[in-house]
Amino acid sequence: MRETMEKLQDQYTSALRNSIVGMGESALQQAYELGRRALADGLGVLDMAAMYHKALAAGLPRDSTPEETALMLEAGASFFAESLSPFEMTHRGFRDSNIALRHLNQTLEQEIKRIAHALHDEAAQLLASVYLALDEVAGNLPPAREHLLKVKGLLDLIEGQLRHLSHELRPTILDDWGLLPALKFLAEGVTARTGLFIKVEGESAPSLSPLLATTLYRIVQEALTNVTRHAKATQVKVTIQHELQTLRCSIKDNGVGFDVSSLSARTGERGLGLIGIRERLNSLGGSPSLVSTPGHGTELVITIPYTNSQEA
């Protein structure tokens, strides 16, 4: 990286000098190409600013008049702005991608909500019709009554599973009561299925937008799924905190843990299960942090700028 930056610095200094002495359009084109190369090499805007400052100090003649210096600084500013244009275009692309991702998530949540309600309401109505039909058959065929009761028992189980699935897809409690009650409801369901003890604590925030509440609910849901599959834990603690302008969510288990750096080097974020979580957070400006050591459990910490929670 240092060799790359030194080589780029020399080229940048030479190109800036050409721009200052009036090379015009060709110098600006070179500025753009240098900015594109710097971006590809992993340099940031602050690196570019330091490079420009160093190049400017080397390129300005010592014996120039104030008027000449002002003109050269103006030319240098145009050069610097052009060298930053690849960063600006990348930023705009990232911002547009986040907006598109947010709209996609909202569309998916609306579809999930529709499917959940269909499972809960329409399937329940169909099962009610089946119950009535079974009662009618039982009345007409008394010898089959015992077998029909067994069928009704199975239908009861199916109805319970459909109701449970609909709540997990899109719990109405999230819309009606907010994030914290929905997380407690989710925890109760996971505990009932797996025996994993889950404690949810924190403060409800009345100003949370539906998008932020849904995003956090999905992340906790995914994290708990990962714990039940891989952590061999017996306890999980989910904590929601509001710290100044930041919303913080922690999911901490007492499982087997792992070496984060080692696994990350082998498999990247996919191996850590962070890709889906990071994609959900990108549109809200949030970020995940994973802390784990072998034998000492794992903690996933989600932070989101709290100002985003005010957006609809």
Q: Checking DSSP bridges between strand 298-305 and strand 197-202, what pairing results, if any?
A: unpaired
The pLDDT assigned to 168 comes to 66
Asked whether residue 298 carries a pLDDT value surpassing 90, the answer given is yes
Look up residue 284 and give its two tokens. Answer: 């809200």
With bands split at pLDDT 50, 70 and 90, how would you rate the model's confidence at 308?
very low
Asked whether residue 57 carries a pLDDT value surpassing 50, the answer given is yes
The pLDDT assigned to 312 comes to 44
Rounded CA-CA distance 80/31 in Å is 7
With bands split at pLDDT 50, 70 and 90, how would you rate the model's confidence at 266?
low
> What percent of the chain lies above the pLDDT cut of 70?
87
Going along the chain from its start, the domains and CATH numbers come out as: 2-96 (no CATH), 174-312 (3.30.565.10)
The answer to whether the beta carbons of residues 226 and 292 sit under 8 Å apart is no
Confidence (pTM): 0.56
Higher pLDDT pick, 184 / 116: 184
- Residue pLDDT, tens place only, 96-123: 777 777 777 777 777 777 777 667 666 7
Look up residue 206 and give its two tokens. Answer: 């009345």
The pLDDT assigned to 256 comes to 93
The answer to whether the beta carbons of residues 209 and 310 sit under 8 Å apart is yes
- Which residue is it, tokens 């025996």? 195
The pLDDT assigned to 258 comes to 87
Higher pLDDT pick, 268 / 104: 104
Asked whether residue 3 carries a pLDDT value surpassing 80, the answer given is no
Higher pLDDT pick, 138 / 228: 228
Strand partners, 198: 236
- Which residue is it, tokens 């797996």? 194
Asked whether residue 239 carries a pLDDT value surpassing 90, the answer given is yes
> Mean pLDDT for the chain?
81
- Residue pLDDT, tens place only, 196-232: 999 999 976 656 788 888 889 989 998 998 899 888 9
Nearest CA to 302 among 279, 286, 284? Answer: 286
Rounded CA-CA distance 35/11 in Å is 11
Mean pLDDT calculated for residue range 273-302: 87
- Residue pLDDT, tens place only, 13-23: 888 887 777 66
Asked whether residue 147 carries a pLDDT value surpassing 60, the answer given is yes
